[in-house]
Structures are given as C-alpha cells and as structure tokens.
Amino acid sequence: MKLKYLLGFVLGLLLSFGAMAQSDNGGIKQDTKDAAHATGRAAKKTGHKIKRGTKKIVHKGAQETRKGADKVEDKTQTPPQNH
C-alpha cells in the first residue's frame, strides 16, 4: 500500500519539475511583449475611430454653417425693384 503512495508522490514530483522548467522568465518576457503589442494595436484602433468621428463632426458643422449662411444671404438680398 505504501508503495502506491510513494510511486504517486515520485511521479507527481517529476511532473511538477517539468511544469516549473517550462515557466521560465523567457515566457514572462514574451507575455509582456505580447501585452504591449496588443495595447499598441488597441490604441491605434481607438485613434482611428476618434479621427473618423472628429472628421464627421467637423464636416456636419461645416454643412450647417453653410446652410445658415445661405439663409442669412436669402434674407438680406434686396428684392428687385420694378420700374
């Protein structure tokens, strides 16, 4: 009975050493690089969305300004005089 427990313990210990050997600092370094790249991509994507939204707002404002200017121009024109 004790031999089963001892064999299980030794086998578990060997598997644990294998798992510890794989999780070295190189893995942490790569994970950090991957996270930094993902953050950079997200920032770039957000920047593009903001740029597009700003362009749309500016364009819409320019349209409304032209519309208002046309209304003012129409109101300020002098009507043709009949002789």
pLDDT at 20: 56
Q: Summarize pLDDT for 21-40 with one digit per residue, the tens.
A: 555 566 888 899 999 999 99
pLDDT at 18: 61
Name the average pLDDT for the chain.
82
Nearest to 61 by CA among 50, 73, 53: 53
| CA quadruple 32, 36, 38, 44: dihedral, nearest 10 | 180
pLDDT at 50: 94
Q: Which long-range contacts (CB under 8 A, 24 or more apart) does 15-24 make?
A: none
The segments of the chain whose pLDDT lies below 50 read none
Cα 71 to Cα 77: distance, rounded to the nearest angstrom: 10
pLDDT at 9: 75
Give domain limits for the chain.
Answer: 38-68
